[in-house]
Amino acid sequence: MSEIDDLMERYHAWLRDKTAWKTLDKWTVITAPYLDRHNDYLQVFLKKAEDGYFLTDDGATIGGLLEEGCRLDSPKRQQLLRMTLAGYGVAEDNGRLTVRATADNFALKKHSLVQAMLAVGDMFFLAEPHVTSLFMEDVRSWLDRSDVRYSEGVSFVGRSGFARRFDFLIPKSRQAPERVIKAINNPVKSAADSVIMDWLDTREVRPDQLKLYAFVNDNEREVSGAVIDALSNYEIVPVLWSHRGDVRQALAA
């Protein structure tokens, strides 16, 4: 068994052992081993439907943001919300994030919903009086100003069969290999873990020289060295936003 095989087997075992569920009337509450920005475990609500299964966050993701004063009513934020959810195949219905699944694709759909909950919570978590733009918008604008060619919101099917989404893809050139970028707005351990698992699952099915750059938002907070070390240990290039100029040439090549 290779090192990657062992890592993936450990991850699947951890995911299986740390997932809990309880049935209440017609609903089953599934507690997933992923932490939100408050260090609370994410919960997904499951109900049997005529055509399979219905899964939802019951409004916890968007409702939590609204309660904290994060407005989502501007056209730009609504567009970004739709783009983010579309990348995971997740719908929004009156503030609830939802997916429909069959027995065959249940694991994939549940995974997509959990990842969408994390992505939406991370993308829109900002201190409204102090932050003038979303981090993703900052990254996109900087890439444009730096003459970096890219495609936005790309997904690759990893070794596990799950779709792994990256924020930007920079195509291969004569000077540099194919590169992908993940933007981490809320640099906590769970965010780093999610990026690492996306990377481990994806890099085996992409070109050998693929490189991942993780842009880490250090505008409003000091980033833990443990987060940076965790990314570096898996051959991910962590880029503090305050030092983004250091990789301008590598990405524009």
Task: Residue 219: give its domain's CATH number.
Answer: 3.40.1350.10
Average pLDDT estimate for 98-123: 89
The answer to the question of residue 195 being in a domain is yes
Domain count, the chain: 2
For 95, the domain range is 3-123
Length of the chain: 253
Residue 129 has pLDDT above 50, yes or no: no
- Side chain identity at 153, as an amino acid letter? G
Same domain, 101 and 144: no
Interatomic CA distance for residues 22 and 203, integer angstroms: 35
Same domain, 21 and 85: yes
Beta-strand (E) ranges in 63-210?
91-93, 96-101, 151-157, 163-170, 179-184
Range from 3-12, 13-22, 59-68 that averages highest in pLDDT: 59-68
Query: What pLDDT shows up at residue 1?
Result: 59
Same domain, 11 and 62: yes
> For the chain, what is the total number of helices (H) and then of strands (E)?
8, 11
More confident: 206 or 42: 42
